[in-house]
Structure 1
Amino acid sequence: MGDAWQQAIETRRAEKDEYFATHPRSPIPPDERGSFEGLAYYPIDEDYRFELSLHEYDEPERVTVGTSTEGEREYLRWGEFRVTVDGENVTLQAYKSEPDDDRLWVPFRDATSGEETYGAGRYLDLEEDAHRTDEGSWILDFNEAYNPTCAYSEQYECPLPPMENWLEVRIEAGEKNYR
């Protein structure tokens, strides 16, 4: 598989670090930006990158998801990914905000949450144009897992991964804890 996908991830990580360090809309609190040295990540690992079918539901169900500020948001449970991670069969639900969205939201918690990674969980955003193959499969790459903005500052409200996406397996890929 070439290393272009790895280079793309490294480039996005560097761009995110620059944005977090310097941009006025950075989620890093202003008093911490001067000492911000970049985010911590697991090394990029091909074993956490999968090409999968999305098992779409015939009738996506509306679900209510709690947020970090005890609020709620609604999503459509659009389908599920079935994958084997470190010998464990895992099912991850994929959500959409609206039926015509071109993006799937895949929030999850795993056995690293609260230790090496953000306790509330991490997100994957799968854009049709970037994460869909010509054959119709989806690229689910945990190396792209990132923390929600509430991991950096309590001023943000973030949807929390539903319990159906709490995994018992360790996902040692993507972004680590901020502090």
Structure 2
Amino acid sequence: MQKLFTFLLICCFLVSSAQDKTAETSKEFQDNLNYDYADKEKSPLTKEDLKSFKSLDFFPINDKYIVEATFVRTKKEKVFKMKTSTDRLPEYIKYGELNFTIDGVACQLNVYQNIELIKKPGFDDYLFLPFSDFTSGKESYIGGRYVDLRIQKGKLWIIDFNKAYNPYCAYNHKYSCPIVPLENDLNVEILAGVKKFHD
């Protein structure tokens, strides 16, 4: 029951805040995130944190972290069980690879599809991009962060790291969150998106 509760809450959050990330500006995304986190019906915050919540802490919005990546569609990938912060093992499949450069450092991130989520109306093109970087455990959450994507046309895709957000379990231990795969650990600082919640 707890696993189902967690999954349904995450789906509700995605439906309300991840409709069309390509059309939403970085500022709009961050404002909407704050709005959802202040809403006791949607917020992952504990009751205690919700009482004093005013805003998440963000890195300054920086166009440098809206990157153009070369997308490579990978073939013959097999469904696998992604590790989470609990014993829950949701099924994902690698959809492709995104290659880009930041500060002269060549980067590659795998992007995934959640097998259950893509069966839901409106989410057949939804992609999950988890990552960690040199800020993880320092300025940002130690477990890494997520970016929501939709399938884009062509080989050049846009990733807006200003829209990077923390897993729910960064705020509340009752949630079960996918752990960032080791291959999505970047050797660069991503000074964009949500910072860690508590020092």
Common topology (TM > 0.5): yes
Pairwise mapping of residues 1-179 of structure 1 onto structure 2 (< 5 A)?
8-98=25-115, 101-128=124-151, 132=152, 135=154, 137-179=156-198
User: Secondary structure of the residue that 1:60 maps to in structure 2?
Assistant: coil
Which digits, 9 at most, give the CA deviation of each residue in 1:96-130, with x for residues without a partner?
A: 123773011110111111111111110011023xx
Which digits, 9 at most, give the CA deviation of each residue in 1:40-59, with x for residues without a partner?
A: 11111111112233100121
Q: Is the 8 A contact 2:40 2:50 kept in 1?
A: no
Structure with the higher strand share, 1 or 2: 1
Distance in structure 2 (CA, Å) of the matches to 1:92 and 1:23: 34
Distance in structure 1 (CA, Å) of the matches to 2:77 and 2:157: 18
Which digits, 9 at most, give the CA deviation of each residue in 1:134-175, with x for residues without a partner?
A: x56321111111101111100100001110101121111111
Distance in structure 1 (CA, Å) of the matches to 2:50 and 2:79: 39
Distance in structure 2 (CA, Å) of the matches to 1:136 and 1:81: 9
User: Secondary structure of the residue that 1:66 maps to in structure 2?
Assistant: coil
Q: Is the 8 A contact 2:72 2:155 kept in 1?
A: no
Q: In structure 2, what residue type is equivalent to 1:109?
A: S
**C-alpha deviation, 1:7, in angstroms:** 7.9
Distance in structure 1 (CA, Å) of the matches to 2:23 and 2:75: 35
Structure 2, unmatched stretches of 5+, are 1-21
CA RMSD between the two structures: 2.0
Which digits, 9 at most, give the CA deviation of each residue in 1:33-88, with x for residues without a partner?
A: 12112101111111111223310012123233210114322210111011111111
Equivalenced residues, count = 171
Structure 1, unmatched stretches of 5+, are none
Name the TM-score, length of structure 1 as normaliser.
Answer: 0.87
Name the TM-score, length of structure 2 as normaliser.
Answer: 0.79
